[in-house]
Amino acid sequence: MTIDEIKNGIVIDHITAGKGMKIYSLLNLDNLECSVAFIKNAPSRKMGRKDIIKIDADITVDTDILGYIDPDITVNIIKDGKNVEKKRIALPEKLTNVITCKNPRCISGTEQELPQIFKLTDKENRVYRCLYCESKAK
């Protein structure tokens, strides 16, 4: 398979195999007017298999979403066909409007203008809790 190189844009690399479509969806990449390549189960020496997303446009991606889905992702910034920057992503300390609280009594569910905010409470187990009611994110 041959995927053309991009001149100016972003390559989201080292996505755990199978998690790429969730990232594609949460970042709303289907709404972009530029070329977007999604490669699923690409061979990787380091990971065995991985997903890759190439975006042929200089856009800003929400690194909180990337870190929540897969904190081992790297984001490569491409300018004039060259990799000019490689960003390592980590678990975000706080998530805003990425996930929703499942507690039916939470104020975030009844007050529609409130943002859905979750804080990282257990980094080792990747546990996030609602800022308003302390319910664990599922």
Helices and strands counted in the chain (H then E): 3, 8
C-beta of residue 108 within 8 angstroms of C-beta of residue 127 = no
Task: For CATH 3.30.70.140, list the domain ranges present in the chain.
Answer: 9-88
Q: What is the pTM of this model?
A: 0.84
Q: What is the pLDDT along the chain (138 residues), one digit of tens a residue?
A: 667 788 899 999 999 999 999 999 999 999 999 999 999 999 989 889 999 999 999 899 999 999 999 998 999 999 998 999 999 999 999 999 999 999 999 999 888 889 999 999 999 999 999 999 999 997
Cα-based torsion angle of the residue sequence 98, 19, 51, 14 in order, rounded to the nearest 10 degrees: 60
What CATH class has 9-88? alpha beta
Cα-based torsion angle of the residue sequence 78, 5, 31, 42 in order, rounded to the nearest 10 degrees: -100
